[in-house]
Amino acid sequence: MRSTLKASALALTAALAASTAFAGSHSLSGDLKIFLDTSNPAPRATMEAMIGRFQEMHPDLNIETTVIDREAYKTQIRNFLTADAPDVATWYAANRMRPYVEAGLFEDVSDLWAEPEIADNLASTKGAMTIDGKQWGVPYTYYQWGIYYRKDLYDQYGLSEPTNFDEMKSNCQTLLDNGVKCYTIGTKFLWTAGGWFDYLNLRTHGYDFHMEMAAGDVAWTDDRVRETFANWRELIDMGAYVDNHQNYSWQEALPFMVNGDAAAYLMGNFAVAPLREAGLTDDQLDFYQFPAITEGVAMAEDAPTDTFHIPANANNKEAAREFLRFVVSADEQTVINNGQNLGQLPVNASASIDDDKFLEQGFAMLSSNSPGGVAQFFDRDYPAEMAAEAMQGFQEFMVFPDNLDDILNRLEKVRERVYK
């Protein structure tokens, strides 16, 4: 689908005026080709409106926007980056961008990250945009993961939000003693178990170790990996999770929490809407950061991040850089991530967010976590084949924890094959 965006007749908003001051006042010219994978209606409309605002600032620039279905985009990206590259293209952070960085297909934009406006306000996402000490794009939206819980149940049993693993297990035992499962989960489609591995591994060993694993530099049979699984096994052996979770999708696991049969869910912020729709009020529902496990390990988070990049073969890199500056400006971040648009979190710490307690808590958590780092979620951080096999192993471990040795030996063989 192609749509060419020319200068629109929209009046400049206050946000646009502020963005203009940030993004630079000199006018650009020539062609600017932008490829988007935001094919769903709301993200597409958000992106096209944002491009329209950039067009108004640069009326001499001819902007051509191409929108490609997200799944088709994944199969086409290498071809168009190699052959007839656009000037700007959407993609994803961290290891998902690594193949294109290593193939020389993405432009090094470390110069942008040296500018104070970006360096100061996007610090928490810098690690996710960095490979080999250089930055290869900018983020434009992300969302938090963490533990959503039934505050009314916690209050009923005299529990408070845990800050460490011992408190987490103590809360869990109290709930179990009262006939309530600690966590709901549906592992039918595997990826939800990946979230538990991510957080247990990040809290046990930290971001750098977690990303070394994702890069294939750590054996699955390593004692440190076993330590992560040992922590996980403590929860499994307690009976922390709902029974028969391998038969439920993530949505099918929601009723356990809605009905009060389980007290919490480790999930992304997209779970809030269906929980509200199912009847839980914001007085009943709350959120906390996954607690610390190993003392002194900085608190990294899973926060899947969508990104813009300049292809190495782009023709108009000056205009492309100006567009990236515009995208991450505080005002544009406020506009595109509000509830009427993407409904996610701005990556600029100076942006504003909607009056929503879960967005506010997520924004505060992610904007202040630059020492911890931002991971992208298991199936984004690992190569596809490794992720698929490992998540199958996680589900098996949650049902048959005694199979751990077999699982880790199997995954080690996959690692040796995938990363060779």
User: Tokens representing 276?
Assistant: 């509200």
The separation between the first and the last C-alpha atoms of the chain, rounded to the nearest angstrom, is: 38
Q: Which residue has the tokens 């610390």?
A: 292
Which pLDDT does position 5 carry in this prediction? 35
Equal fold, 2-143+304-374 vs 145-302+383-418: yes
How far out from the chain centre does Cα 228 lie? 22
Q: Which CATH architecture has domain 2-143+304-374?
A: 3-Layer(aba) Sandwich (3.40)
pLDDT beneath 70: ranges in the chain: 1-26, 370
Helix 384-399 with 404-418: angle, nearest 10 deg = 180
Residue 4 one-letter amino acid:
T
- Give alpha helix (H) positions in 178-206: 191-205
Residue 42 one-letter amino acid:
A
Which pLDDT does position 24 carry in this prediction? 44
Q: Beta partners for 4?
A: 64
Which pLDDT does position 171 carry in this prediction? 98
Which pLDDT does position 370 carry in this prediction? 66
Give the strand pairing for 88-92 and 305-309: antiparallel
How far out from the chain centre does Cα 73 lie? 19
pLDDT in tens, 40-53: 888 999 999 999 99
Which stretches does DSSP call E strand in 105-259?
Answer: 130-131, 134-135, 138-142, 145-150, 181-183
List the domain boundaries for the chain.
2-143+304-374, 145-302+383-418
Domain 145-302+383-418 has CATH 3.30.230.10: no
Are residues 227 and 213 in contact, defined by beta-carbon separation less than 8 angstroms?
Answer: no
pTM, whole model, 2 decimals? Answer: 0.84
- Residue in 98, 270, 240, 91 with CA at minimum distance from that of residue 175: 240
Which pLDDT does position 195 carry in this prediction? 97
pLDDT in tens, 214-232: 999 999 999 999 999 999 9
Which pLDDT does position 26 carry in this prediction? 64
CA distance 394 to 339: 34
Residue 74 neighbours by CB distance under 10 Å: 15
CA distance 254 to 252: 6
CA distance 186 to 401: 17
